[in-house]
Amino acid sequence: MKAALFVALLASTGLAQAAQTVELKLAGPDGPGKSIGTISIEQNQYGTLLTPDLKDLPPGVHGFHLHQNASCAPTAENGKPVPAGGAGGHWDPDSTQAHKGPYDDSGHRGDLPALYVGADGKASYPVLAPRLKAADFKGHALMVHAGGDNHSDHPEKLGGGGARMACGVVQ
């Protein structure tokens, strides 16, 4: 009886929750392609830590966001396929319609710190999303972009990350 109560207490405080792992696949015109690894989502006292274990990406800094929809399916725009277009825009429950990065409450809640990919094409450096809880990620999609992210809509919209390169639905 005491053990059951203890487990219930742990569950209610969230301490018993293990990190959730999301698989990312390359975003292609015909739909998700090959798997490039995983990102783990783990809440701590500072926010939510996102730890990538990814490979086969171009070296450098890549824009990284939580997008609205639980989909990585392609869409069509002017008759051309948009890889992972089904994920929709950056998660924006407050309808700010502003891309301001992870440290500004007046923009998209789905704006995350950029991911760093090393010369070997691998990403392993963890980033912290200070405004998000682990549960916020459910029912949305994690997205890695081809370019970087300046946490602004200028000079380019949505940080200038451009094409959607890899995507994973958070179940």
Residue numbers at the binding site for Cu ion (CB under 5 A): 65, 143
Q: Which does 108 bind (CB under 5 to 8 A by kind): Cu ion, Zn ion, none?
A: Zn ion
Q: What does 38-79 look like in DSSP terms, one character per residue?
A: EEEEEEETTEEEEEEEE-S--SEEE-EEEESSS----EEETT
Q: Which does 143 bind (CB under 5 to 8 A by kind): Zn ion, Cu ion, none?
A: Cu ion
90 binds Zn ion (CB under 5 A): yes
Q: Which does 111 bind (CB under 5 to 8 A by kind): Cu ion, Zn ion, none?
A: Zn ion
Q: Which range in 1-9, 42-50, 93-101, 142-150 contacts Zn ion by CB under 5 A?
A: 93-101
| Structure-token match 């969230």, residue found | 14
Q: Which range in 42-50, 89-97, 123-131, 161-169 contacts Zn ion by CB under 5 A?
A: 89-97
Calpha distance 147→125 (Å, rounded): 17
Q: What's the start-to-end Cα distance of the chain, in Å?
A: 32
Ramachandran category for residue 157: left, alpha or beta (phi over 0 → left; psi -120 to 50 → alpha): beta
User: Which residue's CB is nearer to Zn ion, number 13 or number 106?
Assistant: 106
CA angle 107/46/49 to nearest 5° reads 80
111 binds Zn ion (CB under 5 A): yes
Identify which of 121, 129, 20 has the alpha carbon closest to the alpha carbon of residue 62.
121
Nearest distance, CB of residue 153 and Cu ion, angstroms: 13
User: Which residue's CB is nearer to Zn ion, number 37 or number 110?
Assistant: 110
Calpha distance 133→44 (Å, rounded): 9
Q: Which does 109 bind (CB under 5 to 8 A by kind): Zn ion, Cu ion, none?
A: none
Nearest distance, CB of residue 79 and Cu ion, angstroms: 23
Footprint on this chain of Zn ion (rule: CB under 5 A):
90, 99, 108, 111
